[in-house]
Amino acid sequence: MKRILIHGLGQNSLVWNETISHMLKQDNIFCVESATLIKGKEVSYQNLYKAFSNYCNEISEPLDLCGLSLGAVLALNYAIDNPKRVNSLVLIAAQYEMPKTLLKLQNIVFRFLPKKSFESMGMSREDFIKLTKSMMNLNLKNELKKVSCKVLLICGENDSPNKKATRNLYKSISKSEMVFIKNSKHEVNNDNPKELAKILNNFYKM
């Protein structure tokens, strides 16, 4: 079983390193780099998802997908479209119906950040804005019933914008459980990686 970790918007794959260092089993963990997946293509959610799907489809064995924020959306989308390919899902700070107001606010923030802030993430400021704009109308609400694997829903205790969506996903997905991580905001893999690893270790032992 291969475990694929997918980072969030504004992160890169290195953000998982501290969490992985506390994992009991590490040799089957792979971190996806979104900027690499979409390199050479027009930046949009649709192209990123297609590239992510191709990456997953090249792996013959069933997958344990774990994604944060944008990574959670990609993982959920893939599990909906390919239920037989996914063994388990961990969705951190996940949304299933894109919060347009929040995305618009994000774009405003991006416009005022210096271009150098985006260098470590492998995409330009313009690319980030294009990506968020392309997600505005994404809505997976009516597809949630297609998720057939076990699901762990995680949210930072102080991540107010994503708490409601986490609870709604818990109500909508039959084989799901829900955990809120203390002393954490949106990026739990940054805020509390040790506790996140502990929760993942327990989930993957099930």
- pLDDT, position 206: 67
**The two structure tokens encoding residue 101:** 């107001």
pLDDT digits (tens, 9 = 90+) for 73-89: 999 999 999 999 999 99
- Look at the pTM and tell me if it is higher than 0.75: yes
List domains and CATH numbers for the chain. Answer: 2-96+142-205 (3.40.50.1820)
Say which residues have a Cβ less than 8 Å from residue 131's Cβ, sequence separation at least 6: 9, 43, 44, 45, 48, 123
- pLDDT class of 187 with cuts at 50, 70, 90: very high
**The two structure tokens encoding residue 182:** 């203390």
pLDDT digits (tens, 9 = 90+) for 1-57: 899 999 998 889 999 999 999 998 888 999 999 989 988 899 999 999 999 999 999
- pLDDT, position 121: 67
- pLDDT, position 124: 79
What mean pLDDT value characterizes the chain? 91
